[in-house]
Amino acid sequence: MNSSTNSHLNKVSLSGLLISIGIVFGDIGTSPLYTYKAIFGDRILTENLVLGSFSAVFWTLTFQTTLKYVIITLNADNNGEGGIFSLYTLIRRYTGKWMLYPAIIGGSFLLADGIITPPISVSSAIEGLLIYYPNLDTVPIVLTIIVLLFVTQQFGTQWLGRLFGPIMVVWFTFIGIMGFLSLIQHPSVLRALNPWHVVTLLRDYPGGFWLLGGVFLCTTGAEALYSDMGHCGRGNIRISWIFVKLMLLLSYAGQSAWLMQHLGKRLGPTSSFYEIVPPSILVFAIGIATLATIIASQALISGSFTLIGEAIRLHLWPRQRVIYPTDFRGQLYIPQINWLLMAGCIGVVLHFRESKNMEAAFGLAVTLTMLMSTVLMNAYLRSKRVHPLATLAITALFLTIETSFLIANLIKFEEGGWISILLGLMLITVMTLWHKGKQLKHSFVQFEPLPPFIDTLKELSNDETIPKYATHLVYLTGSETSASIESETIESILYRTPKRADVYWLLHVHVEDEPFTMRYKVETLADQDVYYITFHLGFRIEPRLNLFFRLAVEDMVRGKEVEITSRYQSLNQKNLTGDFRFVVFKNFLSYENDLPLGQKIIMNSYFLIRRTALHENSAYGLDTSNVVVEDVPLLFSHPKNIRLTRDRD
């Protein structure tokens, strides 16, 4: 990582702090709405239960959020970018291929989290209205907010982004003040900061261990600290976390103080969060909570788009149409994913109806994501040659914590946790089959040496007995080197109706592990006849080949490396640019294949999934007016032991 990137990451500014508070902490910042409700449920309040729960929340935020993510994980930046796929690209050159699977599992459950977070967050806020209207059906209100949230994505959310910071500052300040005012009425709850209260809760309270499933909800959203590092910077996140954590702890302490004054009773239908708010400002509390949950949901939706974008670049997801609705850095919109997320959120709301029923599904998804990030972090620490004992201690600590949370959440599997497991498994299956299918397809692509064909291409270019197909003929190639080319490309040019052109271009896109790399390299295989261009693009760069190729050609023209003026005499005299035509291949599985069962399942699944993907001309940003698509059968293996007998008269 260069010094300028490091300086940008560590730079702290007032605007950066405001952006961090608005974007990064939305999810974890709304957890006080539902965490205690998940822990206490209908249980009778006891001193051990209240103090032990507050102590568990405090130490979870300290170890899981502060130590793991804010202090340790934020150091693992991939040229300024964070997130589970960025972490994978950072370590994959040092580790075995199996490390891809923790990344796939973690990314899949992070997407599942994106489906569950909006329903539980918005429902928790809107359920504050039950204080005024106990019989109110909150589902229509929640659904309306969620639908509006997803519908507005296509127009860009830059305008909303400007409000994130100020609104979340108001939110955190509000929950901190409310918590402090309640805390001073029963300040003795601060003795719960002694970790021994966690031990007594787990040891003495009946079923105390299983309460950890609810405790874990206080740290949901911690993954966003890492994922949003590229937008906000490491320094801004770390400094703003001091303020955010203090406000969160004040809120939990205030709720604990109120609960301590109601020992022997049950929490009731509402949450302790709203109970500590004076009735005169309860409407304001519900309003600001709703805005905060919308912001939290927006952050998860945007994060899901970014995650899918990275998965596409890493060949873990079929290519989708990606739109950049505003000029805001890194903001993208993927229509297909947007509507799938919306359908998933609506389904979650209709199935569970209340936030308390969503808690099991929510906890499982996030726990599994964090477990996978710990596995990847272990590989990162080893790649950085951190002392083996320190690496072992760090990994063991977080695996112990997260495994405990996972086991505690698994008891709620039948109550709704199965949904997050199902969603995660579906996404894991798609990513794995797509990746395996791409690998298998690539392994059977046949390459031929290119140099022996160069003279043939030059002769074809000058053979006026063949009608000219294009002035400039452009092929995309998966070959990493100009020394070889796919057999299908040679067949397309020479054998399937010979394609004569003045200049042949071979374009290869190499996806870099760095996020925003944009450079190219030109190899002249035959001056004014054959060129091979490699585009090195970061995994967060949209491969707009039409634009990049034009810029590269214009650069070459300025350097007098190539002449692109039309070679038709009438047009050449007027100095007109010749036409460019792209040829892309659309593969289909040949009926003549005789594949083993496992490979047959993978390839059939791959082509089934590909029906949802963009074709190469759209995926690579090629203009449809100058693209020719050729159907090419994929033949992996010929059927064996087939003998055809000839009848003779």
pLDDT digits (tens, 9 = 90+) for 532-581: 999 998 876 777 888 888 889 888 888 888 887 766 666 555 666 777 88
Instruction: Report the 10 Å Cβ neighbour count for 514.
Output: 21
- Any idea what DSSP says for residue 538? E
Question: What's the CA gap between 545 and 534, in Å, rounded?
Answer: 11
Question: What's the CA gap between 108 and 369, in Å, rounded?
Answer: 8
Residue whose pair of structure tokens reads 């993978």 in the numeric block: 602
Strand 500-512, strand 530-538: pairing: parallel
Given this model, what pLDDT does residue 328 score? 47
Given this model, what pLDDT does residue 158 score? 54
Given this model, what pLDDT does residue 541 score? 77
Given this model, what pLDDT does residue 226 score? 82
**Residue 506 in 3-state DSSP?**
strand
Residue whose pair of structure tokens reads 């709850």 in the numeric block: 189
Based on the number of CB atoms within 10 Å of its own CB, is 327 exposed (0-12), middle (13-18) or buried (19 or more)? exposed
Contact 515, 230 (CB under 8 A): yes
Low-confidence ranges of the chain (pLDDT < 50): 1, 3-4, 327-329
Q: Give bridge partners of residue 611 from the DSSP assignment.
A: none
Given this model, what pLDDT does residue 329 score? 47
How many residues are given for the chain? 649
Contact 26, 295 (CB under 8 A): yes
Q: Is pTM, for the whole model, over 0.75?
A: yes
Contacts of 466 (CB under 8 A, 6+ apart): 460, 498, 500
Domains defined for the chain, CATH in brackets: 22-438 (1.20.1740.10), 446-634 (no CATH)
Given this model, what pLDDT does residue 371 score? 92
Given this model, what pLDDT does residue 570 score? 60
Q: Give bridge partners of residue 416 from the DSSP assignment.
A: none
Given this model, what pLDDT does residue 592 score? 64
Sheet holding 530-538, edge to edge: 518-526, 530-538, 500-512, 468-476, 580-589, 627-634
Question: Which pair of structure tokens corresponds to residue 247?
Answer: 């406000």
Q: Which has the closest alpha carbon to 103: 434, 436, 432, 511?
A: 432
